[in-house]
Amino acid sequence: MRARDVFFLSTDADSMGGSQRVIHTLAQGLGARGHRVTMISINPSRQPQTYVADPLYRRATLYDTPAPEAARALPWRRGRPRRSPREVAAARTRLLRLTDPVRGGYLVVASPWAAHWIADLPLEHIAKVGQYHQSYAEAVESPNLRLIKKHYAHYDKALFLCEDYATSFAGHRLANCGTMLNPVGIFPERAAPLRTPRIVSAGRLVRVKRIDLLIDAFAAAAPAVAERWELHIIGDGPLRGALEAQAWQTGFGDRIVFRGQVADVESEYLDASIVTLSSDFEGWGLVLAEGAACGLPAVASDASAGVRTLVRDGDNGMLAEPGNAASFAAALERLMSDAELRRAMGARGRERMGEYRLPRVLDRWEALFDEIDR
């Protein structure tokens, strides 16, 4: 496989999030295979995360300062310019200086808004691949569908997280739709022993993740089982204070542990026995994939086709009705009370995650590059 020039373009590559972790994992993997990879972030993050300790890829940031708060909250609102013309011109010049010397390279555009930002730049000399890390339903309910139709239709490939999404987008006259699995960056040699009565959740503490529902569901399920289970919540965010208060109000505050950010998430999965995702909306669910790779059965809200690609109800986990704490509690209680069921589901989930291992996903990316070259 010949070395290629690959650029990943993100609106904010270093913020906390599953899609950010995915693109850094891909960049590191392609760099390890000898490709010349550059991670480009349009905006610097206000709270940058370190996803790769020793990156085998270049880094570049186009703006000198983070995006204005109003632009971050509602990027599609029209109004006064969010950046001065001089700032915009300087940022776009930086991007062109990175890409102009390259012929035969590939620009992986990680979001519709990044595609919108480069729409009028002279980048015809480089192949473009658009990615969308959310669900089709989320696109329909936001400006993203319009942007995908406008920009991705002209790219060499538009990639979505599962066949269901690709088929839905193809119905909008997008002839270049395809799927690309997100890689699971962790896959320990041995699965979790599932001996610790611990449930784990990981993600930003924001409204859509519905950690409030998870807390209520745990409080409802815990008294029904003999073992003293704990719920460990990994991550941080603006709702942390309110969620901690809610946890104590349930009467189980001593068994609901807020861990904040952790350096070694793999160890957290290996010390747990159930992984959860309680979101109202979720395009995919990296926490479910990582948990399954570590041999954990899952309880997840049936929030999207992407979630259902990772959790098959009754096979490697349990699906609950989105927004329904009682449904989530019933699924938790069933797994919490049945060790044999946890072991069987965890083993099936880990086996299914084989196709998401990084080497296999990198093979798919290199095959895509070959396809574009033809």
- Please give the residue that has the higher pLDDT: either 67 or 293: 293
CA torsion sign, 32 to 109 to 68 to 64?
positive
Q: Please give the Cα distance from 348 to 336 (Å, whole number).
A: 17
CATH second-level architecture of 5-183+357-373?
A: 3-Layer(aba) Sandwich (3.40)
Q: What is the mean pLDDT of residues 307-311?
A: 97
Structural domain boundaries of the chain? Answer: 5-183+357-373, 198-355
**297: exposed, middle or buried (Cβ count in 10 Å: 0-12, 13-18, 19+):** buried
Q: Please give the Cα distance from 12 to 283 (Å, whole number).
A: 18
The partner residues of 127 in beta bridges, in order of sequence, read 106
Whether 71 shows a pLDDT value over 80: the answer reads: no
Check if the beta carbon of residue 3 is closer than 8 Å to that of residue 102.
no
pLDDT in tens, 26-46: 999 999 999 999 999 999 999
% pLDDT > 90, the chain = 91
Poorest-pLDDT segment among 47-51, 300-304, 328-332: 47-51
Residue 362's pLDDT band, with cuts at 50, 70 and 90, is very high
Could you list the beta-strand ranges (E) of the chain. Answer: 5-10, 36-41, 58-61, 106-109, 127-131, 157-160, 177-179, 198-202, 230-234, 256-260, 274-277, 298-301, 317-320
CA torsion sign, 267 to 271 to 273 to 274?
negative
Equal CATH topology for 5-183+357-373 and 198-355 = yes
% pLDDT > 70, the chain = 96
**Six-digit token pair at 242?**
């309110």
Query: Which of these, 124, 103, 174, 157, lies nearest to 371 by C-alpha position?
Result: 157
Secondary structure (3-state) at 357: strand
pLDDT in tens, 169-206: 999 999 999 999 999 989 999 999 999 999 999 999 99
pLDDT in tens, 212-254: 999 999 999 999 999 999 999 999 999 999 999 999 999 999 9
Whether 72 shows a pLDDT value over 70: the answer reads: no
Q: Please give the Cα distance from 221 to 328 (Å, whole number).
A: 9
Model confidence, pTM = 0.91
Report the topology of domain 198-355.
Rossmann fold (3.40.50)
Whether 56 shows a pLDDT value over 50: the answer reads: yes
